[in-house]
């Protein structure tokens, strides 16, 4: 059982730090590939989960300048509450600005544990956490051993100051400068707006018996959805718009009747969908897409079939969910958006 308390209401705008923490989970951790869904302002600012929701990454973001050790402790209280809950969280993460010098043993680290704080600062963190927890939970006893165990499990993450550094990592292209800084900042703001829109419905006071109950509240962003949004913005077209046949693809279907054309377009869309939502071949698809974008930009007057023949066979073969005609269809979509 878990009761939602202190959730944001009335469609408050998602903060820059909340969106940065979302994108940090999505694409900037070694285990980001295991995170499939992002729950917005339910258990915490953002909580990541795997596909079956039996592994959870809980993130509290605190974009306050000049955080002191005691206020760091205060900021940990929601994570601490979740540590006590009946739901098992696998990771506890506090997402914060760079702290002023003098608090840490190693100032150069951007990800660290409680052990990186100096002893006197750890004492202040505990003091801030205890004071805030008791203030919010007057009937609960607090044991030192519980605080020690909790703090040993917290990861402190220093936020990057630049928004574009987060969105550049959604799609794993080798060339991170495939689009301008302005493009990636606008993409960040669009994702923040998506996050904000999910705060419309009030869940304050609702009790759930399982993490999966959160799926009923329309407060979830799926990793695949963000990847599709990113791809659409990168190539400038909705790749799943079934009512639009890219102009460059017409020469591939000009000899076919109407029913055959509909079948081919449907098959191509289904192949693209399988490819995008296949976790096992994601990296291979990003490599293929990056090659497609490059050959389209470098050869704006060539047909989609000629461009297909310019892409290395080994790159195409690795994307086993796309056959030849589906590859050509995708190339035509990229041409439609970029040219």
pLDDT tens-digit series, residues 303-322: 999 999 999 999 999 999 99
Task: Say whether both 177 and 308 belong to one domain.
Answer: no
Task: Say whether both 207 and 61 belong to one domain.
Answer: yes
In the predicted model, is pLDDT for residue 10 greater than 50?
no
- Which residues are registered as beta bridge partners of 157? 95, 111
| Residue keyed to tokens 């998602």 | 14
Task: Say whether both 220 and 253 belong to one domain.
Answer: no
Mean pLDDT of the region 59-67:
91
Task: Say whether both 170 and 268 belong to one domain.
Answer: no
Question: How many angstroms separate the CA atoms of 27 and 5, rounded?
Answer: 28
Question: How many angstroms separate the CA atoms of 18 and 46, rounded?
Answer: 7
Mean pLDDT of the region 204-228:
93
Chain-centroid distance of CA 220 in Å reads 11
The answer to the question of residue 234 being in a domain is no
Percentage of the residues of the chain whose pLDDT score is greater than 90: 76
Report field, pTM of the whole predicted structure over 0.85 = yes
The answer to the question of residue 276 being in a domain is yes
Where does a domain end: 195, 229, 263? 229
In the predicted model, is pLDDT for residue 13 greater than 70?
no
Structural domain span for residue 74 = 2-229
Residue 28 is predicted with a pLDDT of: 94
Considering its fold, how many domains does the chain have in total? 2
In the predicted model, is pLDDT for residue 9 greater than 60?
no
Q: Is the dihedral of CA 276, 280, 281, 287 positive or negative?
A: positive
Residue 279 is predicted with a pLDDT of: 83
* Residue in 14, 237, 210, 79 with CA at minimum distance from that of residue 249: 237
CB atoms within 10 A of CB 190: 16
The answer to the question of residue 235 being in a domain is no
Least confident of 4-18, 47-61, 63-77: 4-18
């Amino acid at each position: 059982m878990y009761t939602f308390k202190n959730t944001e209401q009335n469609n408050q705008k998602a903060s820059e730090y909340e969106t940065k923490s979302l994108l940090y989970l999505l694409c900037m951790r070694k285990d980001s590939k295991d995170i499939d869904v992002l729950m917005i302002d339910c258990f915490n600012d953002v909580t990541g989960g795997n596909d079956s929701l039996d592994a959870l990454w809980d993130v509290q973001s605190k974009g306050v300048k000049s955080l002191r050790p005691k206020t760091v402790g205060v900021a940990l209280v929601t994570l601490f509450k979740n540590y006590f809950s009946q739901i098992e969280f696998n990771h506890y993460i506090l997402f914060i600005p760079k702290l002023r010098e003098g608090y840490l043993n190693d100032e150069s680290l951007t990800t660290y544990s409680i052990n990186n704080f100096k002893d006197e600062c750890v004492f202040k963190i505990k003091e801030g956490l205890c004071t805030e927890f008791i203030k919010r939970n007057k009937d609960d006893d607090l044991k030192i051993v519980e605080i020690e165990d909790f703090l040993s499990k917290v990861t402190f993450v220093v936020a990057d100051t630049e928004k574009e550094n987060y969105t550049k990592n959604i799609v794993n292209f080798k060339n991170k400068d495939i689009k301008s800084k302005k493009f990636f900042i606008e993409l960040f703001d669009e994702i923040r707006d998506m996050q904000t829109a999910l705060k419309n419905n009030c869940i304050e006071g609702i009790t759930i018996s399982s993490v999966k109950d959160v799926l009923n509240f329309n407060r979830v962003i799926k990793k695949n959805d963000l990847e599709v949004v990113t791809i659409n913005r990168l190539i400038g077209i909705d790749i799943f718009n079934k009512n639009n046949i890219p102009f460059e693809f017409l020469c591939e279907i000009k000899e076919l009747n109407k029913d055959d054309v509909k079948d081919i377009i449907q098959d191509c869309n289904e192949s693209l969908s399988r490819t995008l939502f296949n976790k096992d071949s994601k990296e291979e698809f990003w490599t293929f897409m990056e090659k497609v974008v490059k050959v389209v930009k470098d050869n704006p007057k060539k047909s989609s079939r000629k461009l297909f023949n310019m892409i290395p066979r080994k790159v195409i073969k690795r994307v086993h969910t796309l056959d030849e005609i589906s590859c050509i269809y995708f190339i035509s979509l990229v041409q439609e958006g970029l040219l």
